Structure 1
């Protein structure tokens, strides 16, 4: 009994230090496990929120891009956009993102549910995007309205105006809304269309007109409380072509490059149509060679360096455009001048032609872009900036064409003969007498087989054949120096003539 009491007494003293440490350790382990589990759950929820926010941003960007291109916000059913065109901007609408649209105010809202109840914690993730109040404390939403507020429609315009059609013709009307913040957008698909005279035209929900009978009517469009109208006139007269234009009107291409041209016919009623595939196309290369080609649908291909004119003909009318072809990787290798030889009479002209030859085999006429020079003897011919050579005096000369560091020659011969072949050379006057100190100009004439006489004095070589000369002689001009007789000889193109000049104290000729 005593021992039992002693045992009870010992037990009443409480837990030992070891026991207490053991209990604390166990509790710590349990707490750590619990906290770790809770942290992992919070991390998973936070990761899910990040994904939802990314999906919300993707949806936001897709809706805004859609409106910028299409001109309206897509309709929705059950919080999901229903316009199939949206797939061009976002392949799949994200689950958990709900969409709302209000076409009357041109605004939309999207939102998603988040796990964190602290809404403000996520607001900074959407800087620059207007926020709407969440529908409940567990959601975040993004509202988009122009300027952060809802602008009102201040005006509506329709184009084109007026509209001229023939029976069976069509025309797309475009409705443009202007807002109080100064912005404007195309709202053709959201506009309500009405017609005053239905048997003249029909109009689709997007503003597409079809003429069904002759007459005049007004077509009205209403959007955002604003209304606009256009007058449509329909006739039974089939319009005729008034003109054809080709666009673009001028292009610059490199060798091997292509350009699609468009032919447009304008009609007597003011309408126009694309006749590219119906027109007859051709190309004219300027300056020789094949600069470009064009196929039956107006596709032109640059063939070689130079210039060309592309033409499209339709219903008796023709439009044109110009092509300038440069070179990429193609270099100039030489130039050629033609003709290589040319014979002219005095005063007669002849045209030189200069062609540039490139490494791809293309040849371009550069006559007007070349410069020209005459060789050392410049008294026989002259040449202008266009390569036109003129015979000046009897003789031969070399004319050189220069272009981009290259040169080519043409040999020019100037002849005084205009009739038959050279028959004789004569000197006049014959056997003259002059006084000492007196001068006399001798002249040389050619006589051809037809009897024509031509003065060739300046082209003749003059010489004194006497051993002792009583005169001085220069270009046929004789001057008496001392009394006596001197023989003077003239040479021209292989023909020779001579006379003698007598010098006395007085002139007696």
Structure 2
């Protein structure tokens, strides 16, 4: 209590004296009222709550005075209050008073037991809408003292979906189908329970499809089946109804009403389930026109009727001509108006009537023939003659064809061959023409062949002749319907050559002009025959050697043979054009190939448009081999590698000095003309290249396989030395003393030091000496001043107070030598008031027993002293 008052006084002093001008101004103001953040508090035992206190002055100013307000509790056993914090102590009620500058405010405090847990009597809840007996939840609280209490009416109840249900004091009343979560809160704890309000397992409408006329309606029921098997025969009034096409049909509380022709899908939603109903309005099952095809003359009209049979009707067709939408794809030919179809101009049109979801088409012919036929359909004529043909037309509704030869429009695609007028066709010259007759938008054609044979053949299929040679070709024609023998038309035909500079032709006589190929064509009566012609044409060009393996400076002459289309052959080596892919490797002159340098190239010979090639290899190796295949060297040591090349002919030769030599690491090993020199410790790869091939040789320089010391352990005295010799074994088995070149290190230079294998003892202790050479290392444990024994000349003394005695300490080393260590040894006493010691001199200082210890070189020896 004293400290609390003292704190209060200090805070008041700070506010009055040190809080600045604002605090001084407030203190001088007259207070109007004191306002607390809460006037009623409910806490569980052990919990606290912080309140704020605000002073409102007459001047209108406000100030936070929580810490300067005096807080008192009517019953501190129930709750305490200090600086605005109220702390619950025990179950009960009390009043906390906050007083500042004469103004007091009361806070009602209720302290309840600590709630550890809450439980509900149900894990889930299923509720009906407007149930006469609402569902009741019971809430039980379990306190920290182990007791429990039913707190249903004391708790705070809430639901996250207030649209489906209400909850008051645990009583749940269903409002609409749906799901939610009820929360009960009491004290610092809360618990939840899920609630389902008339959640159906499925919905079943009384009809899944409804057909209506515009303006009609129909009521359907909606059956809800619940998970427990129960059902509600009609929840249509409770469901939510919607339509995907309200312009056609909509629904409310199960009543479906039709507004316009078409289809719509009505959806009923009840809780989490939905059901759909398909609605057809004015759905036409069948739409029929009284006529499907109409033939009219220009200016005429025809009656047309349109009936519809509805899907929801009694099957009686209804006249819907005035309700339908009529259209024509060619209004200028025919159109619909008030139950009639009118013909406006010659041609064809399609009238379409559309009603609801159906449509029907009526085809209208206005003076248009169904078809035109020319009789005969094909004519074979001689030039200078005339033939008459007839044109028949078939019209709609007519049983017989009508001769309209004089009415049609005639044309010919080649009037120089044949011409038509009023059904008379005149032939002028050999060839084919197509005669066309047009009438009423229709047309018919007839093919006329004038002096055209059925087939045209030559007595040869191809011709091969030398330059200056000739070949006579005979051309025969066969006419249709002719029983006579083939007619020789060689002199009548037109002969042409695709390349007159290669082959010329006159009345079937083909003459070779220059070497090459051409095509000769014979044309007669619209028919033609083509004959391939070869004049001195080279068929193949071959060489007697396709590959040459040569040495530098060697020459070789090849034979080049040309084979012609007429079967003759000729050595054209000197006439051909020769080229080399690389003159640095091989040169060629009129078929003589000379090797000039190592490598590969291709020699080409070209003659009369054809080319052959010869592969040439000069000083090329098929394989390379080395001896040795592995080199192991020491630093500054050299060795030679011998390189052998074998060419594709199987010949072998030593090419060490001719090869190109490289090292992968010239710091480790270098190479020149096959001689390898080790430079530093390490590994390298030597590569030799020759004749387009390469081979590698691994090299090891100074690679140590084993490193050994002649001493595995060293025990020495201070200021003495011992020498260790280090031997390296290389990959080829050779050994070398590397004591002076190795890297020596000590783990503790204060105990032992080392230089080039010479170990020097410095002081008592243990150390490890490590020697490293290349990538190998060896370690040697070292003991300095390691003792075998430590003893004194006495082990027990009886002395009088004030008496002194000298004791001698002797050390025996591992090598058997002894040394007086009285002075350098460490002397200690267990009881200074009985006996003291220095450098082996023991002095009795008081009666009793003490133990004197001497320590040296890791050994310790006791001396028992009794002082009388």
Shared fold per TM-score greater than 0.5: no
Q: Does 1 or 2 have the higher relative contact order (CA < 8 Å, sep 6+)?
A: 1
Q: Which structure's CA Rg is the greater one?
A: 2
TM-score by length of 1: 0.29
Bigger fraction of residues in helix: 1
TM-score by length of 2: 0.18
